Structure 1
């Protein structure tokens, strides 16, 4: 049982979050204690022949209304309504009323009252709260009420699809999936949640699957006032999932009173596939991909491939394949990392297919730009891809993030910082975006802000790059002990030879030459053993890093040249953003190397 702290009405449906009388958040337990006080207890009961809600143009869905023990009633949608044993006479009266309403004239009067009262409350409680325009929204992961973890892909996928749809509306800020996933299964207070996400409204939902039948309940709440804006329950077939998702998105736009352009209206109604099986396989692919693990990526690739086979014109399936292949290299899959050229080539092939089918996929353009800039060094082409992605979806944080990294490599630090800030504003809870901003702040000379941002990022996830950034920041301000501690933490998180070089560099700058020389010997031996692509052994750039700390400039360029001759351009492209090589930027050999890899001198 739940109760309203304001009007003290009792609710027997534990799925309700807000009072239907005044919109206040419900509390656990009865308001009247024993239930014999003056306030009537309230029960939600379902009846197939009850009054239609009328919220969706006369479609015939399950009707529900709230029935109280004093025989008043209001319309209600969006709650799972089941009669409770302890409702006693309330349920019995309702069932009796349903069975005899055709023969009792009094029932006609009751029905008329229900319509009038329902219409009043329907208007009152399902209109946007009068707290000003809503400019931002968070769609939380939907709750899986099916009792089967294997259907999590449906609840998670539906929420993510709504995020994808709504994020394409330029007038609405939508929290990305990476920001809201932490709230899955939590009971976080809506005020704290909306404050952290910096949104005006929060949407939540529940999904129940029983064979081919789906029940989807959604609620949209004004986080500023905690008032219910809109709630609805959809009883559909699994095959209608795509259409239902589009309908929910359209209703959200309507309830938020958003004014859309013609292109935005078309985008909202866009159908990426008409094949329900393909769409469900795609949702499974997204579910596994979001796990960001080697096993998850392999499973995602299987599901995306199956989706593409079901519908060879399903552009999102090919875009998902491209992302999955590219991400296998960065989630700890050692086989994919060792086969970097092959996996990148697969990602590029699927990206080209996706964009050939649908050139308006913002995410695909951003991924294409990232691949081009990180593996091919085609800077102008990559920049065009990032700009096109941002044009198509200004609210896509990764586009701004990738673009910022490109600008940093080119030495366009002011522009890079602007894009890094935009990415953070769109996704406050991404550790990768946070680290890029910290590095951009370092390059602008704002070390205090860089340290603060790197530490904030560590609170999101223990990312080795943040420890590396902190090591360079502390070294810059002369705090060698803190720098060494963070360099060692980076190596603990990511024990690659290239990360070991950061410890060697800090030891060298701190004057611990013997320790630096010992690490240098390890790296040179690792480089000598080598591997086909230089992904599991030390690179020439990592050896050059320690020599830079020791101040041996000639040896620095000798080892950088080794990477250039081995076509390991990816290592050299990051030189302009590497703190250890900043003192070398004025050296003619540095400028020549930049010119040879296609970067501004």
Structure 2
């Protein structure tokens, strides 16, 4: 191309830009974008207050984007003058060239294309990639299906200073929801990755396999003693708001605030609360000194660092909380746990720390409100009685209730902060017994299964089985990691390995394996569950132990909910430790709204609060 042609093209583009300015297209675009931004910001605040569905705001965004090229075209042709709207004078129009027209066409097409793409992404979001087929087979995301699972996303922090207060509220709301409902509540560790994400809520719901999402914010002005939480509950499959509420309390009532938020969410989901009307009323939640609560939160955050310095700092913060509020039971339970960890991790003499932890845990139980955390401390102390001098061991044993059975132990070690932290300490201890390490790895693996970290759980379970192959619960959990991923062939291989390991000498072992191989069709997962149910019945008929929870899971998978509920009733009577999976395993999602399932869940919690019963016979493989 000649230099004259280059100058002509550049002149053409320059004239086109000048023509845009002459026709006020640039100014009009700036005003439109600014006005659209204001409207969208207002819509983001106003629309949720009227419980409008999410698509209303999304449609507003699409309309604003589609309107831009229309406004630009109108501005090009027409102009606003003192005499009114008139057609723009064409006398100074750009010279005849394809470049200006092409440029205008590209800009307009790009704007329309982007708007269309955004609308399609919002409206037609498909299933998330990587969602396990096994989990999906138990979870219905149909818009008309009842809500059986919920996720509480990290709360936006608008409080002054660090976000530890918002993180603590987020964790406690999750814990309260798990206590108040039979819903499957996704754990804090599973939702933390969505703290800063641009994914749409339907996408997040697909990945977590839940029907409901809770999002919100926390505000705590520096010059005020109030706490404000704004919560929105969204039904993801239909993309509609079920609830939009603002809660405001004095800082001293933060414990009651956490309970109120969880209660309101539970009631918004079709009145879903586990406690029946004739149940014993919930204990009154005491007010707590705001500074004491802040010190307690900081102690928890230090413990979560899983470092020696964190443990030492936690002790200091918990003591500060007790000095500020001597009736704060959770601070006593926290101090008991931190002191015990100092002994377990070699930071202080174990016998002295056990004595202090025991005294603080007793005080927490007396005050009420932190019983399970205090009980978890007692369980860990009992596990280490043989490591104590006789005098201290006798002094501690006198105050113990009946020893917790495997049913209660599983709950205390899996659903309390102290249980999880002590398990992690055992995994890092060079003095732990092989049996203790196997048990610690089993419980940690079960937590990772709840967080859908199946690969990490499988690694821990293999390590646990290498240390103690005669652990039926570890075999159950390993098989479940395959089932929840839809890998039924892998689950069958684990079952065959289990039979040969635990029952290799039994005369019927190979016949059971042959029966499994003959019955299982890799293209039809129901054949796995059918064999499992028949095998369970055969073992019961022969007098061998067979978990009713395992049988109930097979019934759910096959759609026989009545039989599943009957077997869960039987499992509760036998205090089957596998009942702890009811809280987090998607297998049970189809039953969660059934009143009988709610009643079973309520009775499990009641059993945990009514003292400890003698341990049932240890189940064989």
Q: For the superposition of Structure 1 and Structure 2, which TM-score range results when normalised by the shorter chain?
A: 0.3 to 0.5
Which fold has the larger relative contact order, with Cα–Cα distance below 8 Å and residues 6 or more apart in sequence? 2
Larger radius of gyration: 2
TM-score, normalization by structure 2:
0.45
The structure with the largest helix share of the pair is 2
TM-score, normalised by the number of residues in structure 1:
0.47
